[in-house]
Amino acid sequence: MKRVKRRYLALQVDGEGVPSRKELLDAVWGAVTRLFGEYGASLTGLALIDYDMEGKTAVLRTSLATLNSVKASLATITSVAGNEAAVHVLAVSGTIKALHKKTPKQL
Amino acid sequence: MPERGVAAVKRFFVDFHLRLNVKDAAGTVRMANKAAALGYRLVGVPLAAEVREDEVPRLREVCREAGLDFVSRVDLRPRSPSELGRLLRRLRRSFEVVCVLCESKVVARQAAKDRRVDLLSFPLLDFRRRFFDRAEAELACNGLSALEVDVKPLLVLEGAARVRLLSWLRREVAVAKKFGVPVVVSSGVAKEMLLRKPREMAALAFLFGLDEASGLDAVSQNAEVIVKRNREKLDAEFVAPGIRVFKEGKDC
């Protein structure tokens, strides 16, 4: 079986309020599902690896094949947990280690 | 680190359609700072045709303090080709970028032909009045105009309306690509929270068929070319393309 290539995205939640881990994940899944449907969402292999509530930063994992779809979906997020918000991508990397090197201050 | 498949050049990101409320000074400063923080280097602000004389320098100063280059833009909404001609004669030299909101086919065709028009924009939700077809693209590629796409509706719409919009945009962008008409992706937003990073705009452009490199061009190079060309034309020393006044006076 072919190995699935993955990409890790460093995210910054911008907006009022501090969403919980579940609320952030719900917003991401909601955006992906609205844009690409349940089938499309199932191909992304999304997983929230890490979430720092204090800094409102997160690390999200997705498959390389659906990276563009996930980035587009993240850009369409306008609210998280009922509050106006935006989710910005700080960096994208193939490993968590390299992601931390790219964004040493934020993560 | 170089991006995959994209030349590792430092891009000059442009948002050509930042809707600022010129009466709200604090809001203007906030929006300008936010755009700069997100990585934009140049912003275009649509102004009323009868903008007050002190307004443009004030906005330019606000943008300069935020680290942005400011471009004055006017959005024309003519009802007929003759009205378009009249407006262009009156306003072309007062603004750096001219956008025509094409609400009828005759206006759309005339705007595409006219080399004084920089951007062609179409009603976002009235799909019957989106006239960017093959004929329009052919005229636009011989002129100098680009197709402008605002991402705001992609953020605020949901369901069937967004599906239809994406479908239309995909069709129009495919036609633009085929005829070599540049596509400019702008925000079109008036709220800070709807502003997106240039790379996120490029990611949204992926939804209507622009690959990563073309998407990044649509938020940088394509807009930058328009600004450079117009600034050169508006310069006092400009005579004609390639001809400039080098020296004036008796000793020439």
Query: What pLDDT does residue A58 have?
Result: 95
Q: Best of B204, B212, B219 to disrupt the A interface by mutation (most A CBs within 10 Å)? A: B204
Answer whether B193 sits within 8 Å of A78, measured CB to CB.
Answer: yes
B 51-110: CB under 8 A from A:
none
Residue A2 per-residue DSSP state: P
Burial call B98-115: b when 16+ CB within 10 Å, e when fewer? bbbbbbeeebbbbbbebe
Asked if B158 is an interface residue toward chain A (Cβ–Cβ < 8 A), one would say yes
Structure tokens at A50: 């890490």
Structure tokens at B215: 């998407």
Query: What pLDDT does residue A29 have?
Result: 96
Q: How far is A77 from chain B (nearest CA, A)?
A: 7
**Dist CA B46 CA A84 (whole Å):** 25
Query: Do residues B76 and B91 lie in contact, with contact meaning Cβ atoms separated by under 8 Å?
Result: yes
Query: Do residues B77 and B50 lie in contact, with contact meaning Cβ atoms separated by under 8 Å?
Result: no
Query: Do residues B181 and B146 lie in contact, with contact meaning Cβ atoms separated by under 8 Å?
Result: yes
How many residue contacts between A and B have a Cβ separation below 8 Å? 47
Find, among B114, B112, B92, B115, the residue nearest to B104 by Cα: B112
**Dist CA B225 CA B179 (whole Å):** 18
Answer whether B155 sits within 8 Å of A78, measured CB to CB.
Answer: yes
Percent helix, strand and coil across chain A, each to the nearest 5: 40, 35, 25
Query: What pLDDT does residue B245 have?
Result: 84
Q: Best of A76, A77, A83, A92 to disrupt the B interface by mutation (most B CBs within 10 Å)? A: A76
Answer whether A78 sits within 8 Å of B158, measured CB to CB.
Answer: no
Asked if B160 is an interface residue toward chain A (Cβ–Cβ < 8 A), one would say no
Query: What pLDDT does residue A2 have?
Result: 82
Structure tokens at A70: 């996930």
Q: How far is A64 from chain B (nearest CA, A)?
A: 12
Query: What pLDDT does residue B236 have?
Result: 80
**Dist CA B157 CA A76 (whole Å):** 10
Query: What pLDDT does residue B4 have?
Result: 53
Query: What pLDDT does residue A107 have?
Result: 63
Query: What pLDDT does residue B8 have?
Result: 59
Query: What pLDDT does residue B1 have?
Result: 46
Residue carrying structure tokens 């850009």:
A75
Q: Per residue in A29-82, pLDDT tens? A: 999 999 999 999 999 999 999 999 999 999 999 999 999 999 999 999 999 999
ipTM, 2 dp: 0.91
Query: What pLDDT does residue A106 have?
Result: 65
Catalogue all structural domains in chain A, each as residue range(s) with its CATH number: 6-102 (3.30.70.3250)
Answer whether A76 sits within 8 Å of B155, measured CB to CB.
Answer: yes
Answer whether B200 sits within 8 Å of A68, measured CB to CB.
Answer: no
Q: Which residue positions in chain B have pLDDT lower than 70?
A: 1-9, 252
Answer whether A72 sits within 8 Å of B204, measured CB to CB.
Answer: yes
Query: What pLDDT does residue B242 have?
Result: 81
Answer whether A75 sits within 8 Å of B212, measured CB to CB.
Answer: no
How many CA atoms lie less than 13 Å away from B133 in the CB half-sphere?
9
Which CATH number is B14-244's, of 2.70.70.10, 3.20.20.140, 3.40.50.300, 3.30.70.990? 3.20.20.140
Find, among B40, B39, B20, the residue nearest to B30 by Cα: B20
Q: How far is A76 from chain B (nearest CA, A)?
A: 5
User: Is a pLDDT exceeding 80 seen at residue A101?
Assistant: yes
Question: At A59, phi and psi to the nearest 5?
Answer: -120, 125
Query: What residue in A sits closest to B154 (Cα-Cα)?
Result: A76
Answer whether A71 sits within 8 Å of B206, measured CB to CB.
Answer: yes
Asked if A86 is an interface residue toward chain B (Cβ–Cβ < 8 A), one would say yes
